Chains A and B, each alone.
Chain A
């Protein structure tokens, strides 16, 4: 494919923490409407790539182009406003808020009520809250979390929290969704639910999804393409079938055959 259809272009990014080289010249493209998996052993730099995409880390070299705009120097909240949402490996919800308010808080970037209108509340701020509540309720319906709508998320079990976090990312109405290990620590049933939600989102909204996952079987099932990282460098890139057959990938995961 040509660069014209590339949705997200990660071009030669390198990241360093003190003396540790976290990422070395990583490049890959994401095409609109696909599910791309980033896989690799622990410490390979998968989450670092996501953090660079978010603007949370600054690569010292390279460029990230999202929908023809350069993200590399933008602050995190600007990147989110451009339509990049994510979930976290270790759940990072707003623990003191209810499920509903977690999602409403994410709608913040679409809300326009100004400081003064918030102080007065009656009028614009109130109407806006109701309008956004409708959209948030749709996500709650979709993720089947109606029963915990008003529960404080700090008290929810792990699997539900993961789901609320996905809901919070969806509430941003992103164009690119970054999922950092959405299925770790879940049982088989919860994993299947989550996979179903991810595929549903993908099919309903044609959303582009970038996914980090360790469960290879699952990656093979739902990803269109995969990028393999090892020690901060990309070692393979292609369809799941190609990846599975790639000797470099087998080496990284299983060790040398000799």
Chain B
């Protein structure tokens, strides 16, 4: 879609043409909203802040999946397994070696990235459904490994308790304090995801997605590009996993399971594949739906006491499934695409074309 610009606004250099933010007020708006988010604990309730924390962590994981599935076209159902990997690595580094979290979390991201490389290896040979199967393997092998290997270190099925992150003697033990951490991580990953998507790396990713044969014939090393995508996706998941583990202060093989992998994929579809805004939209909408389901559950069981226990459990997957189905039918390109249409319509107002 050609970007619509207000009349009279012209670029005079390629750097200007490539820029994302062109006007001063856009910078102001951006920084104002970031500051408003950092100040959230001042005006929002604790449960609200906890929800925002959860959304931030989820967005990071979906951003990684977006680089792999949305940009590179390699469908993966192993994202939650890489979150598990990141969580365990960070927990071990903090518990066993006494690393501070600001070293252990990047290390967890890198470690998960390396594990992601291993599970990305089959992508050279297999595509589509077959690749889904091989990434699904990660979802079974990694939790099995944490349950059954090195029991004295990983503590088997019980998992590990994770220490509270401490910075300059300050314990980050409330959602309000934790928000500073998740927001900072989210800003970093957003910048990275955006940079990837606009650099030669992102273009190489998209060539693999859109036409892998043409890409190969025109000089793209498919294997290398696919592995780079797997590495990045697992890195993002590792960071998200580490953040979640430190927040929950506990991790075991079931903290992130296959259902989470599927929900992350669903979020990406709802938000919009191959768009940097997609993960934001998808994660926010689905997390909100889950929140609504949690609120509505007790109401529902009051009305229909016979279903009391089941209703609360059933509402979440019900909401998620319905939303996903409706999106696949009515807006398969996701909310990000709809958002762009709305932006274009706003710029063209009062005309429709």
A positions within 8 Å CB-CB of B: 54, 56, 75-77, 80-81, 85-86, 88, 92-97, 101, 104-109, 111, 113, 115, 117-121, 125-126, 128-130, 133-134, 137, 150-152, 168-169, 172
Contacts and interface: CB of A to CB of B under 8 A. Distances in A.
Given A115-B228, A119-B192, A130-B15, A101 B3 contact: no
B216 A77 contact: yes
B274 interface: yes
20 contacts: A56-B213, A56-B217, A77-B216, A94-B207, A94-B210, A94-B211, A94-B214, A94-B215, A96-B210, A104-B203, A105-B204, A105-B207, A105-B218, A109-B218, A118-B196, A118-B200, A118-B202, A130-B14, A133-B18, A169-B218
Interface string B206-235: 110111011111111110000010000000
Interface in B88-127: none
Contacts of B15: 126, 130
B32 interface: no
Closest 7 CB pairs of A and B: A80-B219, A121-B195, A109-B219, A92-B214, A94-B210, A118-B201, A118-B199
A108 B211 contact: no
Contact of B14 (A96, A113, A134, A152): A134
Nearest to B231: A115
Contacts, number: 111
Contacts of A97: 203, 206-207, 210
A108 B210 contact: no
Interface in B1-17: 1-3, 14-15
Given A95-B211, A133-B18, A108 B200 contact: yes
Interface of B: 1-3, 14-15, 18, 192, 195-196, 198-204, 206-207, 209-211, 213-222, 228, 274
B205 to A, nearest CB: 10
Nearest to A106: B218
Nearest to A154: B210
A236 to B, nearest CB: 28
Given A77-B219, A121-B195, A150-B2, A105 B211 contact: no
Contacts of B196: 118-119
Contacts of A75: 216, 221
A5 B206 CA distance: 39
B211 A92 contact: yes
B199 A125 contact: yes
Contact of B3 (A106, A107, A117, A150): A150
B199 A77 contact: no
A72 to B, nearest CB: 16
A56 B216 CA distance: 9
